[in-house]
Amino acid sequence: MATWAECAIGTILALLALGGGVTGSILVLLGPLGGLHLALDPVSALFLLVVCGTGAAAALECELPLLPVAVGALVVTLLAADGFILVLAFALASIALAPEWRGRSGLRFMAGGLLCLAAAVALLAPRNSGIDLRFAAMRSAAPEGLRAAAVLLLVLIGTGLHLISPSRPSPGGALLSGGKIAVAIYILVRVLFDLCGPAAPSWWGLPLLVIGAGTMVLAGLRANAADDLLAALGASRIGAVGLIAVGLGVAMTARGSDLASLSALTLAGALLHGVSYAVFDVLLVLCTGAVSRGAGSAVLSQLGGLIRSMPAVGMGALVGAACLAGLPLTAGFPGRWLVLQSLLAEPHPSRLWWHVVLALALAAVAFGSALQAAAAVRLVGIGFLGRPRTPQAAAAEDAPRPVRLMIAALAGSCMLIGLSPSALLALVQPALAQLLGVRLDGGRLLVIAAQADAPGYAALGIAAMLALAGGVVAWTLRQFANPAASRVPAWDGGMDAAPVGLLFGASATQYSAASAGLTVLQSFGYPAWRSNMQRWLKVSTALLQRRGAAGLGGALLLVLLGLLLWAVA
């Protein structure tokens, strides 16, 4: 209940800020380190929407005792207007989520990440008048040179550690980790676009771009290799973070090269993708929760045929997977389309390395999206279609009414976003204006486009044409076609149907989850890189687990180095 109240308050605040432009300080407590400040601006409002949505869904799924504290701390992180509160609230949220960590490596990831963030905040604070951690003070004294590079490195490591920290494989954990990922991205945006000021050099986008592109491909492969729904969704979530990172990187470099409109285009794409991804990610995680309760498992090889035994959940998963696949007219398309447009658009920074990296990023985005789509098709095709693979899947019951309603509402919003992305773009525009000083001028009523007068993506127009074409086909068939149809056992080359007593005896003749993933993975040379990957994983886990102290020590060393730089520069 407390969580829902928090989420409701947060959502109202966010809508007020985005709709009416009610922004500004909420709370100021004077004290040490420049005082404690909470404030609301369009950027935090946008992320507030996402976090409150995921938090509310998590309250439905999860019986974590400290859930209100965790969600509250995440909300406060977003509202923080000084570095102290930002790090403190984020640390509190991480601690409250402790039962969701997997093993002790979660603790190390979190501790290392927080240390790096704290060091970055410390480096950002201006040094002239004591230690002032207020955002306003940081904006006025943007870091330069080595100090700026150290901030970038620390923020990337800090948020990165939070992004990849493993969590317990439960639907609630997945939702909360989704919320945490949103906050980590918020910190990235806040620090790199806002606090570091508009004068960041253009190469700043490069690390983000490269990391994001690599992440997309690896996460896509991982999503195809995953053998349960939650793991596949988790990998896809990381893939979406990759796309957002690519967008942020391009936006960063464009801003550094004084190409404000290109920067706005890309950032709009990244933020739009983030917000819409959050919607269908929550939808898919709720469906997964319903499946693991209804069918007793979320492991793909034990599911099958759920669309008939759980119609509402199946429908929700179908909509969610279509979005995940990034098909046109779904919520997954407009953000990706905008990011792609920014890679295709003119003018661009005129540097050769930039174009090489850009083309590489486009290829990575393309492969990542296609792998994501393959994973989405496999998810629905194996999990929800075909024949049940276990008696539990055959006897699965649909989700209870509240969950069904929530799924319906989320699926509806996915369709709305898909059909009129301009509405969602309108929510993103204030944040763009705040961060870059410009709005995306291609966001028209029915069309989103790269420039104000260029042809673009008209979702409603395409949808109308599709509906018209479908209608014409249906009408033609009514006129000419044989209206009958009958159900028979699927043709199996003349073999007999499975005997009556053997309900699942022939289920081995159905395509399997592992085979569907392997076919795609094998084309990427799977058995060869698996062994290398395992060796690498072993080394890195050893570093993280057995040499945990070394990892923490490394983070500490980085912090000390940062402080040293701060003192010297």
Q: Give the tokens for residue 214.
A: 């690599």
Query: What residue has token string 């309760």?
Result: 293
* Under rule CB under 8 A, residue 304 binds other proteins: yes
Q: Kindly tell me which residue out of 139, 147, 168, 387 binds other proteins, with binding defined by CB under 8 A.
A: 387
| Binding piece for other proteins, criterion CB under 8 A, among 20-28, 87-95, 430-438, 489-497 | 489-497
Do 68 and 6 touch, CB atoms closer than 8 A?
A: yes
* Under rule CB under 8 A, residue 214 binds other proteins: no
What residues contact 60, with CB distance under 8 A and at least 6 apart? 286, 402, 403, 406
* Under rule CB under 8 A, residue 487 binds other proteins: yes
Q: Determine the straight-line distance between the first and last CA of the chain, rounded to whole angstroms.
A: 50
Cα→Cα distances 445→29, 328, 420, 426, 460, Å: 43, 18, 8, 10, 10
| Binding piece for other proteins, criterion CB under 8 A, among 3-11, 198-206, 246-254, 483-491 | 483-491
Q: Kindly tell me which residue out of 509, 534, 541, 545 binds other proteins, with binding defined by CB under 8 A.
A: 509
Length of the chain: 569
Do 498 and 506 touch, CB atoms closer than 8 A?
A: yes
484: alpha, beta or left? (left if phi > 0; alpha if psi -120 to 50): beta
* Under rule CB under 8 A, residue 405 binds other proteins: no
Alpha-carbon span 262 to 347, nearest angstrom: 8
Task: Name the residue type at position 512.
Answer: S
Neighbour count for residue 350 (Cβ, 10 Å): 8
- From the CB of 309, what's the least distance to other proteins, in Å? 10
* Under rule CB under 8 A, residue 499 binds other proteins: yes
Q: Kindly tell me which residue out of 9, 498, 556, 561 binds other proteins, with binding defined by CB under 8 A.
A: 498
Residue with Cβ nearer other proteins (246 or 374): 374
- Beta strands (DSSP E) in 217-343 are none
Alpha-carbon span 237 to 279, nearest angstrom: 12
* Under rule CB under 8 A, residue 416 binds other proteins: no
Residue with Cβ nearer other proteins (452 or 454): 454
Q: Kindly tell me which residue out of 489, 532, 549, 567 binds other proteins, with binding defined by CB under 8 A.
A: 489
Q: Kindly tell me which residue out of 67, 213, 373, 396 binds other proteins, with binding defined by CB under 8 A.
A: 373
* Under rule CB under 8 A, residue 505 binds other proteins: yes
Alpha-carbon span 111 to 551, nearest angstrom: 10
Residue with Cβ nearer other proteins (46 or 303): 303
Count, residues near other proteins per rule CB under 8 A: 101
- From the CB of 392, what's the least distance to other proteins, in Å? 17
- From the CB of 201, what's the least distance to other proteins, in Å? 20
Name which of residues 430 to 449 contact other proteins (CB under 8 A).
447
Residue with Cβ nearer other proteins (173 or 418): 418
* Under rule CB under 8 A, residue 415 binds other proteins: no
SS3 228: strand
* Under rule CB under 8 A, residue 303 binds other proteins: no
Q: Which of 378, 368, 228 is nearest to 289 (CA)?
A: 228
| Binding piece for other proteins, criterion CB under 8 A, among 186-194, 229-237, 451-459, 557-565 | 451-459
Residue with Cβ nearer other proteins (353 or 560): 353
